[in-house]
Chains A and B, each alone.
Chain A
Amino acid sequence: MTTAIEKKKKKMGSAAKKEALTGYLYLLPNFIGFLIFIALPIVAGFFISFTNYTGFKAPSFVGFSNYAKMFNDSQFKAALVNNLVYSLTSVPLTILAGLLLALLLNKKLPGQSFFKTVYFFPNLTSMVAIGCVSMLLFEPTQGPINNLLQFLGMSADHLPKWFFSTKTALLTVVLVVVWKQAGYYMILFIGGLKNIPPHLYEAAKIDGANSWQTFKNVTWPMLSPTTFMCTILCIIGSFQIFDIINVTTEGGPGRATTVLVFRIYKEAFTNTKMGYASAIAYFLFLIILVVTLIQWHGQKNWVNE
């Protein structure tokens, strides 16, 4: 009897061993690549940020001087300020636009799915393509947008110069990005609206609430987890803006549209200051880490009620 059980145990053991080996084996192709091209760079970047690595000669350790240098570097400071301004304008506008589009299409409407398809489409196209088109649409002297403004009565000397003026360049980027990504957040908001239990709306109707009261007391509070998540996603995305700026303004005019990733790119690949660029990159990571931690905290303590 005991021998039979022992035998069985031994057999199970070898089967479990085989399963474990298979498990490791199947993980391997992905894991090796993951280790070399994702995990290793994450660790290496941290160390590089404390060196004067240029990509050509052997690096030496420079302590915190890259990080100290950042806050004396007017280029970096301009990029940080621009990026904050960009985030503070593009995030609320995107969230508002996404929410309004979702509310517009939430209830039954003729052509509903057609509208959804159209609103989402710009989000799939590349920033390079959108940059190329918007450069022409916003052309200051003869572009169709300024032509329209002139037609609507704006005098020729007051027409905005869009991408070509230090005052309006960043705002133009914001406008284009909000236009492009509103549809993405619309999809997320529509998902959130679907999750609101219908009986709450029935109760509000019985209580005689009007549309605004229903929105304020039912939709908005019930939607708060979605709004929170969308805001976090949008903030994280706003610190990674690069493509459209590189295609349209290249950080200019002057420094009007330099942002963090743009600085990282320039320092690393134009000035070949890999060490210094890594310090900025880690600073960027830190910002995103803080936002992510806020999200985790928020999801635990507030949203999942």
Chain B
Amino acid sequence: MPKPLLSARYRLVVRDAQGKIIRIEEAPSKSFILNFLYMWWLTLNLNASDSLSMVTYYGSPYAYSPYQPMGWWTFVNREPYSGEQVGSGTSSPSASSPYLESLILSGTGSGQLSYGPNIVTSPSLSSNPGTMTVTKTFTNNSGGTVTVGEIGLATQVYLPNAASSTNNAALMIHDVLPSVANVPNGGTITVTYTLVVNT
């Protein structure tokens, strides 16, 4: 059976308000999305003019058409939606959708989760396969249970000479959970994506 060039797996851990683990799940990521190829296309091709779909600092969809090659890809913590994102949607993702079905916004309002910083490990490349992990913890201070049905991984893509674009994040992986995860008030959900290159 051939192996993919690049694959990913996720691990999520849900804890209650006392820090007790109430759910652990680990699974292969199912879906790199079309947006991921657009990120490559716009990065590699100096003359590409297609727009790229991203999420802004405020959690809103944003389509950007770079007039310069896209810059570096980064998980640096300039805004909450770089790295892992979580949503409440449960529908199977479509090939061309560049967003989670229903992004859970960062905050303490009803239905919201406070997005923590990305914790990124140094790539492990001394042997095959090579790996890199990104972890984020989301804290529920909303006052009620928050239901997570989908998760994703996004990167910031710094765009030279376009300062307004630096706080946006482009989704590259979108996974719908086999069953929703209920995060109790005061609890947390930690999502880790491990990216794997098979040489």
Q: Do A and B bind each other?
A: no
Interface residues, chain A, with chain B CB atoms under 8 Å away: none
